[in-house]
Copies of this chain bind each other. A is one copy, B any other.
Amino acid sequence: MMGGDFAPLEAIKGIKLYRELGSNAELTLFGDSQQINDLLQEHQLDLAGIHVVHTSQVVDMDEHPTKALREKQDSSIAVGFGYLAKGMTDAFISAGNTGAMMVGSLFSIKAIEGIQRPTIGAYMPRENGKLGWLLDVGINADCKPENLVQFALLGSIFAEQILNIPNPKVGLINIGEEEGKGNLLAQAAYPLLKELKSINFIGNIEGRDVFLDKADVMVCEGFTGNIILKLGESIHGLVQRRNIKDEFFDMFEFEQYGGVPVLGVNKPVIIGHGISHAKAFKNMIGIAQTMIEKDLIGKIKASL
């Protein structure tokens, strides 16, 4: 409840929106209980199925993740991961410090056996109106070819299960169309991806293809992915400042998508953008619920 620029108010409003959908997941809220209880009351939330766990500390957005988690053991993030690790909750969601959320995931619930590098992806607007999925978007700035292969597998399962795209097309982000093009990493990853029979690999895609419907899952190391994501995010501001109203470019308002899961860890963890508002929190709870209902983690394990 304490994560994000508008905590805990927007999280409470998000819970209210989620409840209004008629959804009924039990929610455990970690944070300052006084603030949380006041807001729950103020926003007239039905308290059935809502548990508040008081935590006395907050990991700030700019703190060093490992240090903060070690020193602030009663922070909402640290306590939340403790509940998740012990099985007292089934998923964990926060719009707080992204690094702390990653470190918490890796140290408390850990990577799935066989996964070298858990990853974070991002929704990508596409001209056909349907979202694509880009990964990694910054957690793994330097990668080996084998990492990209695992991202492709994780992304493919996510796109199929959560984005409801059957047999999703997986593209390798590259600087040329043919096999053999690209930097050393992309050159080495291509044949490995081609061999991976459990995904629908369509070959290289270029920068110009990202916002088209060429691929449903777009794979790259986290440096390139982060540049693409932030460049994409900036387009919405540009379009708004030019007073352009357009349905397609509305899709570049990334906040609406809520958070993104950490893929490759043993339980559902959703990380939200720091600027998350109510709708984003509502969507994050929805994604976590879908991940649980569809047993995404189980399907990832089975695929390895």
Q: What residues of chain A have their CB less than 8 Å away from a CB belonging to chain B? A: 127, 138, 141-142, 173, 175, 182-184, 186, 206-212, 221-224, 226-235, 238, 241-242, 244, 246, 248-249
How far is it, in angstroms, between the C-alpha of A141 and the C-alpha of B207 when the chains are bound? 14
- Residues of chain B contacted by A238 (CB below 8 angstroms): 127, 211, 248
A127-B241, A207-B229 known; A223-B186 Cβ under 8 A: yes
* A228, B226: Cβ atoms closer than 8 Å: no
List the B residue with the shortest CB-CB distance to A184: B142
* A138, B175: Cβ atoms closer than 8 Å: yes
User: Closest Cβ of chain B: how far from A152's Cβ, in Å?
Assistant: 17
* A246, B244: Cβ atoms closer than 8 Å: yes
* B231, A210: Cβ atoms closer than 8 Å: yes
- Residues of chain B contacted by A221 (CB below 8 angstroms): 183
List the B residue with the shortest CB-CB distance to A229: B207
User: Closest Cβ of chain B: how far from A243's Cβ, in Å?
Assistant: 9
Q: Can you name 15 A-B pairs with beta carbons within 8 Å?
A: A138-B175, A142-B183, A173-B227, A175-B226, A175-B227, A183-B221, A186-B223, A207-B232, A207-B233, A210-B234, A211-B231, A224-B224, A231-B231, A235-B235, A242-B246
* B248, A242: Cβ atoms closer than 8 Å: yes
* B248, A234: Cβ atoms closer than 8 Å: no
How far is it, in angstroms, between the C-alpha of A206 and the C-alpha of B229 when the chains are bound? 10
- Residues of chain B contacted by A207 (CB below 8 angstroms): 226-234
* B234, A141: Cβ atoms closer than 8 Å: no
- Residues of chain B contacted by A208 (CB below 8 angstroms): 230-231, 233-234
User: Closest Cβ of chain B: how far from A48's Cβ, in Å?
Assistant: 42
User: Closest Cβ of chain B: how far from A61's Cβ, in Å?
Assistant: 13
Q: Which of B138, B141, B228 contacts A231 (CB 8 A)?
A: B228
Q: Which of B127, B231, B235, B244 contacts A244 (CB 8 A)?
A: B244
A-B pairs with lowest CB-CB distance, top 9? A207-B230, A207-B231, A141-B183, A208-B234, A207-B227, A175-B226, A208-B230, A183-B223, A142-B183
How far is it, in angstroms, between the C-alpha of A208 and the C-alpha of B238 when the chains are bound? 10
- Residues of chain B contacted by A235 (CB below 8 angstroms): 211, 235
